[in-house]
Amino acid sequence: MANLPSIFAPTDRPLSVGVLVMEDANAFSLAACVDPLRAANRRAGRTLYSWSFLTPGTAPVTLTAGFAIRGAPLTDRADWDMLMIVAGFRLEEQATPDLLARLRRLAPRLAAMGGVDGGSWFLARAGLLDRRAATTHWEDLELFAHRFPAIDVRRDRYVIDGPMVTTGGAAPCLDLMLHLIGARQGSELAMRVAGAFLYDPLHGGAVPQQGLPATRITRADPALGRAIALMEGAVEQPPAIGAIARQLGLSQRRLEMLFADRLGTSPGRFFLDLRLDEARRMVTDTHLSLQDIALRTGFSSQTAFARAFRARFATSASQLRGGAARP
H/E/C letters for each residue in 127-163?
CCCCCCEECCCHHHHHHHHHHCCCCEECCECEEEECC
Q: Which amino acid does the sequence have at 192? A: R
For the chain, the average pLDDT equals 89
pLDDT at 207 over 90: no
CATH of the domain at 129: 3.40.50.880
Residue 169 lies in a domain: yes
**Helices (H), ranges, the chain:** 27-44, 91-94, 97-106, 119-125, 141-147, 170-185, 187-196, 214-220, 222-232, 241-247, 252-263, 267-285, 290-296, 302-313, 317-320
**Domain region containing 131:** 15-196
Structure confidence by residue, pLDDT tens digits, 48-86: 999 999 999 999 999 999 999 999 999 998 889 999 999
Q: Residue 218: what pLDDT? A: 53
**Distant-in-sequence, close-in-space partners of 211: CB < 8 Å, separation ≥ 6:** 138, 139, 232, 278
User: Are 185 and 113 found together in one domain?
Assistant: yes
Q: Residue 325: what pLDDT? A: 45
C-alpha distances (whole Å) from 70 to each of 47, 58, 249, 279 are: 23, 9, 56, 36
User: Are 21 and 131 found together in one domain?
Assistant: yes
CB-based contact 40:214 (threshold 8 Å): no
Q: What is the pTM of this model?
A: 0.72
User: Are 158 and 223 found together in one domain?
Assistant: no
List the single range of 7-21, 25-39, 264-278 with lowest mean pLDDT. 264-278
Which whole number is the average pLDDT over 167-178? Answer: 92
3-state SS class at 189:
helix
pLDDT at 244 over 90: yes
Which whole number is the average pLDDT over 20-29? Answer: 95
User: Are 143 and 231 found together in one domain?
Assistant: no
Residue 132 lies in a domain: yes
Task: Tell me what percent of the residues of the chain surpass a pLDDT of 90.
Answer: 66
User: Are 33 and 144 found together in one domain?
Assistant: yes
List the single range of 190-194, 302-306, 320-324 with lowest mean pLDDT. 320-324
Question: In the structure, what pLDDT confidence band is assigned to residue 323 with cuts at 50, 70 and 90?
Answer: low
CATH of the domain at 286: 1.10.10.60
* Biggest distance spanned by C-alpha atoms of the chain: 64
Question: In the structure, what pLDDT confidence band is assigned to residue 262 with cuts at 50, 70 and 90?
Answer: confident
Q: Residue 167: what pLDDT? A: 95
CB-based contact 124:114 (threshold 8 Å): no
Angle at 270 between CA 220 and CA 157, to 5 degrees: 60
Report the domain count for the chain: 2
C-alpha to C-alpha distance for 150 and 304, rounded to whole angstroms:
35
List the single range of 19-28, 224-233, 265-274 with lowest mean pLDDT. 224-233
User: Are 187 and 225 found together in one domain?
Assistant: no
Q: How many residues does the chain have?
A: 327
What pairing do the DSSP bridges indicate for beta strands 164-167 and 112-117? parallel
Q: What are 233-237's contacts with CB under 8 Å, separation 24+? A: 234/298, 235/274, 235/275, 235/278, 235/296, 235/297, 235/298, 236/295, 236/296, 236/297, 236/298, 237/298
Residue 263 lies in a domain: yes
User: Are 259 and 297 found together in one domain?
Assistant: yes
